[in-house]
Each structure stands twice: as C-alpha cells, then as structure tokens.
Structure 1
C-alpha cells in the first residue's frame, strides 16, 4: 500500500476538497493513475484534462525559487542561507521568508517548493550544512515549521526534506545509515515530527540513503507507520531526484511520486506491475489520492477551492533579504572595534569582499537580479575617500563560471551546422533540463550547443579558461583553438557534471579593457532513452594569478594606513556544496596567513567570515572583532555595512557549535563498506561537546550585540518560565533569551542539558523586559525502545536561562 489513508479532514473546506479529490479519482483508469505518479519531465507532473487537472510544477529552493529554468535569464530573489535564517532564532522572520518565497513561486508558475531541508548538523564536515538549519532538533523544528507555514500561507506547497538521516553527502545515493531507534526519534525524526504537527506540510521528500538497511524511497516503517500513521501526515511523498529504484517496493514503501520523468519506476512500469498482480491497485489509489489532494490545495484541480484563494499582500523581497542578513550576522568577538566610530578610515581586504559568495553550491543555486558585495555596501555607507580596497588573498583555487566581463549567448545547431535557435547564457553556465530548450530547438535535431560571445577583462595578464562538464568540447579564445577533445569524469556518480571541478584548458595573455572573442562548443550526446534529458556545461575562467605574498604585502600596507582593517574571508564552492563533504574546516588558500599579517599591522582588525557553516579560526584571539556572516544572500553587503557602521546591531546567535576539527566529538561522514554507523547515539552538537568535556571556539547560542544585558530573575510556575532581563548598555538592543532543561541528577545516557525554549526581547538603555516561555512536554521525554513509545521522565530538573548553552546565568528548580 502507498500509505494509510489520511485522517478525516476537519474543516468544511478540507472536506469539500476531499470530495472533489474522490470524485476525480473515481474517473481515472489505471494507466492515467500510474502516469500521474511519474514526472512528465524534470519538474512537473502531467495534466489530465479529463478530470480538470492541470500540470503541477515543482522547483528547488530553499533560499529562492529557481523555477523550471536554471538560468540567470530567469532571476530570483536570493535570501540568506538556511543557517543564517536559523541564526536569527526568529520563527516570525522565517515565516515572512516563506511568504516571500511563495510570492516568488507564484510569479514563476511554481506550485510546490522543494524545501526546507531539516536534516541536522551531525558532523561539521557535512558539505551541505549551509542548506540545513542547525545541530539542534528543537530549533530546527521551530524555524522549519515557521518557514513551511509562511510558504503555504502563500498558497504554495512545501516538501520537507530529506526524510530522513540524509546528514552528509559522501555516497549519499547508496549509503546505509545505521541509526538507533532512540536517536532517530529524539534527533533526526524530531524536526519532521514538529513540522507535521505545527505546520501540516503538503509534502515530504524521501532521501537517497538507506536507514537501517532499507532505502528511504521504500521505507514502509518510517513512511507508512510513523510519518502517516503516528503523525497523521496527509501530504504527498515525492522521491529525491532519481532516488526511486523499485516499482513494487517504492509503492509498498509509501512513495507517491517518482521524479524526475519521463523515465521512472512508475508510469507504465507501475501499471504493468498492477496488471501482473505484483502490487494492488488500491495502493496506486492511495498515492493518486495524495497527489490530487496536493493539486486541490494549490489550485490546479478544477472544482476544488485552493487553500489560499487570495495570496498575502506583496512583500519587498530585497528588503527582507537585507533584514534577514543583518539579523543573522553573529558577532562572536568584539574588543571595542565595532561599531565603527565616525570618521574612521577603513581598509577593506579580501577577494570575497569584491566578489561576494552569497549562496551555497548545488541545487540550491539561484540567480538574483543583483548582488551587493561588501565592497559595494561599504562604498555606499562610508564617506567618499574613507575606504580603500586590497585583494589580500583569493580563496578561489579553481576556475569559476565566466561571469564578470563576459557577454555570451548559446547557439544551437544541427549536424549540418545550421542554426536552430539561440538562448542567452550571461553567466557562462548552461543548464537545460527536459524540454526547456530555446524556441525552435528540439532534442531530436540538436547536435551541438556553443557558448559564444566576447570577453572584456578587468585585469591584464595571463587569464585561464576551462570547462566544467562531460563530453566533447572545443574551446576557442581570440581566434585560437586551445582544446578540442572529450572530457570524462574522474569518478562515476549521478550529477558529476554539476558538482565536479572545472578542468583548465587554456592560458591566454590578455589586456584589460580590450575585447576578445570566446567560444565553447559542446557536442550533445545524451541518449534518447536517458531518464533525464539534460544539457549542462560551464565555460570557466580565472583572472591572472598574482604572487600570494605580494598580495598579502599590499593588504598589510593598506591596513597600516587605515584606522580599521576589515578582512572578509570565505569558503568556496569547492569547500561547501551539495555533492561532497568537507575534508577539513580550514579556510582555503592563504586566508589565515592574510588575517594574521593584517592583525599584526593593525590592532583594530575586524574579520568577517563568509561561510555557510563552521570553519576554524586559529587567529580569533589575535583580532579585535569576528563577525560571522554565513552565506548572506543578495543584499549581504548592504546588511554588513549596516552592522559595521552601527545602523543596526548584529542580531544573530549560533545555531550550531563552532570549534576545531581536532576537538569535534562527532566527525565521521565516510561510510565503510557502504555503511555509516551513527554510533554516537543521541549525542551530537553541544551535548556531544559537553559529554566529551571539550570547549569549542564558540558555543551553541553564542552571539554579542552592541549593548549589554543583565539577567535579573527567573520564575518557574508549572512548565511556564518567566525570565526578566535589563538592558544595561548605552543603546537599544535585542536579546535572545535561551532556556535549557537539565536533569538535576547526572545521567550518562541523557544529554546534560537541552534547549527547551527561547524568546526575543527588546529594550532601550536601562529598560527591562520579560521573556515568557512554555516548556514543551517533549523536553521531559525520552524514547523507550523496549516499549516503542515516549516515556515521560519524572523527577527533579534545573531550568537554566542565559545567553548561550555555555553562558547560563540564572537557574531554578522544577519537579516534573
């Protein structure tokens, strides 16, 4: 069976939609039902006009809505990364983010957003952690619930992903993660359960990996028994792309939709399996019922009133991107350097200050209409002449997509060389999926695609060109062919052309300001029966490489001549991206050397860290201030300027622990013989650090503002906690009051303390505020594997309130 029937809808509107769903289902034959469960292309399900069903369109998120075309021709608002959103510790802000993304989805004709990602930061080496929220399941569940609520308030569905234990990228298509039932319940399933309870998501995406021996697209226990049975989930279950492997096992395991299409394990294969008696048609009906319910909710099934008939009032996506970014910046150290005093001369240093990295790599990539870099933001915020800039050190040790200075278009030709059509490719990256081809172009007669146009460099010297992608390519620069051959993958694996590194193919000496012709031709060789028709490749480029010591020396001279040095350091797409995990937590290139040299030259050195998840900061005690900016979205540079000049205070708190890899208690992400054991049990994140007796660089929940707070009192009445705080500083501010629950008697089998509530308060200088929090029942419960149920642990507890898990300033007893 595809899943236990959904619980009876409670509202009159739900019941009316359900009646339309049942009537539509009754009019479908087996072939149409089976076809509806398979993608018709990369992003959509087929329309069935006979029952008034229009095509249902899905698109990747979570920071923007790409739409069905992966191109900068179809720009999207780019909000800050999920780690940044979690760093705000503000569910209301997450809800507003969801509403903006729903607005973007409706603008692009998208009905379902493939987000949010609520996997946990189990190990700091997880390469895709920027796309998830936190190491803590409670914080993840609250931020995720608000995000889902906001998107669905805009009339757009969500697919909470990746269900479940998809917490690393290494061998993610095949890995078998072995996880205890208790750890599954208390950690990895917990955010999904909270979101189902709080936000009623319309979809869930099952992951590639297996859990305890069963691949998640076939995991009947976790999908049918737990997700649908225990939690009452009544939405659709869609596979991660290409994850479904077996027709019968997937249907019996509760999978509703196998994506992408048209070559999937459903469709014709499913209809044949029913006719052969391998699977019951009732299971197909259950899956179709779930799909039709989703269609009714988003408004593509005739006769069914959508959940949201009138979307919320339009919101300014760029303004919200800037607000989230400044609320997400976490000031982890400040020895009086921030905010900048008026009239100070500032030296801005770092390649990432000029060419900002605002989002992570992989399927989360979108193309905003503009990106405000730190250099742009500070240039606008500071008086003329107050700012100087030096590159200092470039973290990019490989080529990037040809962007700045290039003017390119994609020219499509048949085998005879006749032009069939053209499309633009301003960013040097081409990705066409399914039938998303330029007008007049069809896969049947397409032989080659050429990225052709001009390049006007901004620097003189030896420019490097290369290719990212698989197959036959011809690269020509300034009339000379530098490469004509076949580029093959170094290792097998799906999506290798998306996530692999560019290959250097030419080094050409060019002059700044001159214009040169550039072309990269690719012979299309995808077989007609390929499960996904995809044309994707990139013209890559790197500016002249200068001597690193010379660049650092220039930065030191700029720092000495300034009152304050602001150094922006960053990771790269080769460090943080979907598709692979990290080998270490070091900043790439010579950036650590740069920071130390600048700090030695100027005691007022501020370091801005541009990364989606933790990196090691070996110089952190040698600089005046450290500001963590995550991947800050398209308005990141403007938000940074707001922080530095003091127009706003940094509002973020750490959603995950920052420390060195040598000290991190849980690090393993590489399977052995296809298996990865989660043998740490329920101890990940800050509970694992506490159990190991190790001190991180910066603790979970840590974050400073531009004022000080005194914690005055705590009162516990039943499970209601009231914390009174006073702003003891000289300017207005915002505080995130955090409450942790700890067993009074130590118990080695349980975390020493767990986040059990938080609230944001505001007050002016000398003003006081109260945070009132309700402790959830789950904070007192543990999963009992013997009984297969939650057990309430009675006894004595301590309620701790403070500014981080390591800075709890008030305690009060509680007896449960």
Structure 2
C-alpha cells in the first residue's frame, strides 16, 4: 500500500482531492483541521492540547475486490473503513533509526472486500506521546491482479505497436539508504515482463530506473537499454528527449554492473564476531573484476550515445618532477550526428614492487564533435595517480619507473596504449 492521494482520495465533507488532517484532544474533540494532498503526514501541525493525529479520506474504489489499507506510525493506532476496524493496537517503537521514526515508520495493514464505485470513508488515528515522533501515513492498495495475465497483456500491446518502451526498476521497498539489499534482482515479475515484450516486439527500448547495480539477465537481448537512475520532477520530460533523439544519453557508469550477484568478486559484507575484514584491500569495484579476470555485464565507465567514435592516436608525457603528466588522445566522430565522448585514461604497473590494482583510473575528459570531425581530448594525470601510501613512512611516496598508459571508453574497453616514465 502507498499513501493515499488524488484521484483516489477525496477530502470528507468537501470532496476536494486529497485528505483531511485533524488534531484531536484526549476526549476526541477537534482542535485543528487542514487539507492535504497526500496521506503521508510526516510533521502534522502541533497545537496546544494535541493528543491524536487523524487522517481521513473518502475513497471510491475503481475496481471490485479485496483492497489493502494501512496506517504507519508508532504507539497507539487505529484504522477503520466505514467504521469497520482494520488495525487497532499499541505498536511499540523497536528501533533508534531516525529515518524509521520520522520518515518511514512501519506499516500495519488490514484487508477488506469493496464494491466498485461504492464510496467508503477511511480514517487513521495515531496518538502522540513520548519520543516516537509524530509521522503518520494513511495508505491503500487496490486488489492484486494476476502477474501472468498482466505480462501477457503487455506482450499483446507491444506486438500491436510500432515501438515498445518498458520501464523497469527498483522501489523504495527494495532499494533504500536505510538498509542493505539482499538481492540484486529486479523486484516482482519485471524480468518476465521485459522478456515477454522483447519476444513480442523487436523494436523495444528498456529503461531501468534504479539507484545502483541490478541484475539484467536479458540485457543481451535488448536492442536498446537506457539507465535512467532516479530522476526528479523532470524525469519524464528528460526521458522523452533522450528517446526521441532531442538529447543524447551522455552518462557513463560510475559503478561496474555484474551479470549476477553470485558472479561478483566482492560480496561478503557481514561482520563475523563483530569484525569485518576488508580482505579485498585496494581491489574494489572494477579493480576486483580485473584481478579476478572475470567479465561483468557492464564495466565501470561504460556508456553509449547516438554516434560512433574511433580512437586514432595518443601521446603521453613527459612526466614532471612531481610525476604529473598530460595525455593527449585524438578521437573522431565516425557517426552521422553530433556527439559527446568521455575519454578515459588508465594506468598499469605490472612490474611494481608494490601491490597495485591491475589498472586504475588516472583521469578523463569529455569532448564533443560534429559528424566526421576529429577532436583532441586533453587529460591531465595528477601526482596522486602515480603515488602510493607508505605504511612504514606514513606518507605518500612515488616508485620511479615506467607506467603503461591506456586510453579508451571504459575500464574494459581500452583502444590505445603508451608508456610514460616517472622519476
């Protein structure tokens, strides 16, 4: 269930879109009333003598069946649908997490069968007191449909269309800053949905709306795959611009995306006996894949646009007294429209006396070019890219010698190679 909002929720009495919020005294008398557009009330207005927060809405079910209603908060709470109790009890706070207390308290739910088109009044109450915060939420969910039938209907719609756009992704229930994920799989039947649409329509774009890596077992079958991350209020307009070609998708992955959770080189993050040993050391992220010699689904730095690029030449160095140097990479837009490329430079030191990553990012530069035009990307490699931390000397030190310099499109797609010597 999600917080009630228009068009499902109407304010009792006035029938305005939204909900009615009241502050009541200990005897149930009204102290204050206001109109809100959402049943998610994180900070109801405090008034003298306030004892209970009440959130009420008039709901007209769009479909018949078993609806789920919920109230979120702590302490004594109740939830009724047309006077029928769905939730009633005292729910003691069992966490010190401020997000759970003040932003997303747990939801207590009840279910009731409703007739389509017959209005019901839903009322949630929460008593105030102690250090339990005052957030309260009135939530609802329509009857659950048959996932298999929903997937089949989507496939039929895709087959009858010229182009299909599938938007999949995570939700706040599956991906949150407040807890770790237990899986990288997309929640629900989304993988089945994507596969069904891909099978029905060869012209399909799959948009993945997620805040971090997820498993995409069908990614090799998708003609176009767009990672949208978590957009803001203009996410829809931005996505439309990219899909229609008014704007080029210009992002590059800041993380490496695995084929599956089981295939990730570093995945054990649970402390044992209260102690977590970071055995991976320097080999984090793409460095872990490079050390393991395994291939992810998408490398760190990966990203495509609406044109193609040829990497023609590279000039590296010489290094200065501080070890810093410049890399110049000439790239050409070989496609049919203007574009933007992010040229990435990585270093290697296979004969090092120290433990080092197989390779590491040293710098990058973004360039733009018209169709057929060549452009030079200038990447400044700073001192920090060629130094190491000495535990014995408690400081940064430089190991003189020859570094291999590679340039390309990602940690796993490097087109040009050179060397530079530092003193």
User: Same fold, TM exceeding 0.5?
Assistant: yes
Q: Which of 274, 281, 288 is the aligned partner of 1:688? A: 288
Aligned partner of 2:370 in structure 1 is: 764
SS at match of 1:534: coil
Aligned partner of 1:394 in structure 2 is: none
Q: Superposed, which structure 2 residues align to 1:231-246 within 5 Å?
A: none
Alpha-carbon distance between aligned partners in 2 of 1:815 and 1:800, rounded to the nearest angstrom = 14
Which one has the bigger helix percentage?
A: 1
Aligned partner of 2:14 in structure 1 is: none
Aligned partner of 1:776 in structure 2 is: 382
Aligned partner of 1:570 in structure 2 is: 169
Post-superposition Cα deviations, 1:569-614, rounded to whole Å, max 9, x if no partner, equal 1111111112210001001111111111121112222211111101
Q: Superposed, which structure 2 residues align to 1:715-730 within 5 Å?
A: 715-718=315-318, 719-730=325-336
- The alpha carbon displacement at 1:556 in A equals 1.1
Aligned partner of 2:107 in structure 1 is: 502
Q: Which of 126, 130, 133 is the aligned partner of 1:522? A: 126
Alpha-carbon distance between aligned partners in 1 of 2:246 and 2:75, rounded to the nearest angstrom = 51
Aligned partner of 1:743 in structure 2 is: 349
Q: Which of 302, 324, 328 is the aligned partner of 1:702? A: 302
Aligned partner of 1:409 in structure 2 is: 20
Aligned partner of 2:358 in structure 1 is: 752
Give the alignment's Cα RMSD to 1 decimal.
Answer: 1.9
Contact 2:185–2:215 under 8 Å retained in 1: yes
- The alpha carbon displacement at 1:487 in A equals 2.9
Extract unaligned runs of 5+ from structure 1.
1-398
Aligned partner of 1:453 in structure 2 is: 57
Post-superposition Cα deviations, 1:423-444, rounded to whole Å, max 9, x if no partner, equal 4442211222xxxx527x04xx
- The alpha carbon displacement at 1:472 in A equals 1.4
Q: Which of 76, 81, 93 is the aligned partner of 1:477? A: 81
Q: Which of 405, 409, 417 is the aligned partner of 1:803? A: 409
Contact 2:105–2:135 under 8 Å retained in 1: no
Aligned partner of 1:487 in structure 2 is: 91
Post-superposition Cα deviations, 1:259-295, rounded to whole Å, max 9, x if no partner, equal xxxxxxxxxxxxxxxxxxxxxxxxxxxxxxxxxxxxx
Alpha-carbon distance between aligned partners in 2 of 1:500 and 1:570, rounded to the nearest angstrom = 23
Relative to structure 1, is the Cα distance of residues 628 and 593 closer, same or farther in structure 2, using a 3 angstrom cutoff?
Answer: same
Alpha-carbon distance between aligned partners in 2 of 1:797 and 1:717, rounded to the nearest angstrom = 11
Alpha-carbon distance between aligned partners in 2 of 1:618 and 1:460, rounded to the nearest angstrom = 36
- The alpha carbon displacement at 1:649 in A equals 1.4
SS at match of 2:151: helix
Which one has the bigger strand percentage?
A: 2
Q: Normalising to structure 1: TM-score of the pair? A: 0.48
Structure 1 residue ranges (4+ consecutive) displaced by more than 3 angstroms after TM superposition: 456-461, 495-501
Alpha-carbon distance between aligned partners in 2 of 1:578 and 1:536, rounded to the nearest angstrom = 19
Q: Which of 279, 295, 313 is the aligned partner of 1:679? A: 279
Say yes or no: does 1:550 pair with 2:154: no
Structure with bigger gyration radius: 2
Post-superposition Cα deviations, 1:434-471, rounded to whole Å, max 9, x if no partner, equal xxx527x04xx221000113224444433210122222
Alpha-carbon distance between aligned partners in 1 of 2:359 and 2:378, rounded to the nearest angstrom = 19
Aligned partner of 1:593 in structure 2 is: 192
Q: Normalising to structure 2: TM-score of the pair? A: 0.90
Contact 2:183–2:261 under 8 Å retained in 1: yes
- The alpha carbon displacement at 1:552 in A equals 0.8
Alpha-carbon distance between aligned partners in 1 of 2:254 and 2:370, rounded to the nearest angstrom = 26
Contact 1:556–1:598 under 8 Å retained in 2: yes
Q: Superposed, which structure 2 residues align to 1:219-618 within 5 Å?
A: 399-404=1-6, 405-406=8-9, 407-432=18-43, 438=45, 441-442=47-48, 445-488=49-92, 492-495=95-98, 496-497=100-101, 498-499=103-104, 501-512=106-117, 515-526=119-130, 530=131, 534-618=133-217
Relative to structure 1, is the Cα distance of residues 457 and 738 closer, same or farther in structure 2, using a 3 angstrom cutoff?
Answer: farther
Aligned partner of 1:661 in structure 2 is: 261
Post-superposition Cα deviations, 1:657-697, rounded to whole Å, max 9, x if no partner, equal 00021111111232233332222111110011101111100
